[in-house]
Amino acid sequence: MRQPASLLFVLTLTIGAAAQSPTPTAILPSPGSQMNTGPACLVMSGSVQAPGSTSQGFPGSLSLFDPSTTFAYQCDGTQTGTSPGALAYVGFAEGGPNQPFALAVAELPAALPCGGTTGQACMSQPSLFSSIPTPYGLFHLGLNFSIIMDGIDPNHPVQASLNFVGRYTLIGSFPVDTAANGGAEKRLAVQLLVANPSAPNGFTLSACLNVDQWVAN
């Protein structure tokens, strides 16, 4: 299981302004997917620096009553000789006061086979790993995921509960690289399960945040 420190750490970016351009980004909602609600809400915004580019914030955020959403950024799949970039995010797990929750993460390789001009954005629709019906809502992380923190399971090594106003801060980052540059292109998905005493089955899933990249050949 991946340890929390590998994903949840404060980001410091060092960016050289010369000969660099902003990283194009986009927000792509998934109609009909699991939505954020008052009892279980994943609030998230972020910024990304692709290799050879400057940092740029996402033009929006995942918030209350939003469906599951893909944050996409452009990354040149053939770029070489450039230091890796990084994606930083900040947000909150939200729900009822003092309720326990679990945060799960799934990772898949990206390397999307997009054609066209180098650097051209080629992703035009959201990308969910799955849409599995459960008693708690739609689960979008597929079958291969890691539970990073879990206050629902008393035996999990990283316990997590919302505070007295129903919030838990999430801050972190992960590297952005290209296969041609010796790195591993990744797709990331994050979803919460929050205890909800008013729900028939006692828990509610939040919307899912997907982070994906456009890759141009």
Question: Which pLDDT score, from 0 to 100, does residue 215 have?
Answer: 62
Q: Is residue 67, in this structure, part of any structural domain at all?
A: yes
Q: Is residue 9, in this structure, part of any structural domain at all?
A: no
Q: Is residue 14, in this structure, part of any structural domain at all?
A: no
Q: Is residue 117, in this structure, part of any structural domain at all?
A: yes
Residue 69 belongs to domain spanning: 23-216
Nearest CA-CA partner of 169 in 92, 60, 110, 96: 92
pLDDT at 14 over 50: no
Going from the C-alpha of 76 to that of each of 174, 182, 185, the distances in angstroms are: 17, 13, 11
With a CB cutoff of 8 Å and minimum separation 6, the contacts of 16 are none
pLDDT at 75 over 90: no
Residue 42 backbone zone (phi > 0: left; psi -120 to 50: alpha; other: beta): beta
Nearest CA-CA partner of 101 in 139, 53, 148, 47: 148
Q: Is residue 13, in this structure, part of any structural domain at all?
A: no
With a CB cutoff of 8 Å and minimum separation 6, the contacts of 117 are 216
The model scores a pTM over 0.85: no
Q: How many domains does the structure of the chain reveal?
A: 1
Q: Is residue 10, in this structure, part of any structural domain at all?
A: no
Give backbone dihedrals phi and psi of 107, rounded to 5 degrees, phi first.
-125, 140
Burial 187-212 (b: 16+ CB within 10 A, else e): bbbbbbbbbbeebeeebbbbbbbbbb
Q: Is residue 59, in this structure, part of any structural domain at all?
A: yes
Query: Measured over all CA atoms, what is the biggest interatomic distance in the chain, rounded to whole angstroms?
Result: 57
Q: What is the pLDDT of residues 193-204, one digit of tens each?
A: 999 999 999 999
Tokens 């969910």: give the residue. Answer: 128
Tokens 């316990």: give the residue. Answer: 159
Q: What is the pLDDT of residues 176-190, one digit of tens each?
A: 776 555 566 678 899
Q: Is residue 182, in this structure, part of any structural domain at all?
A: yes
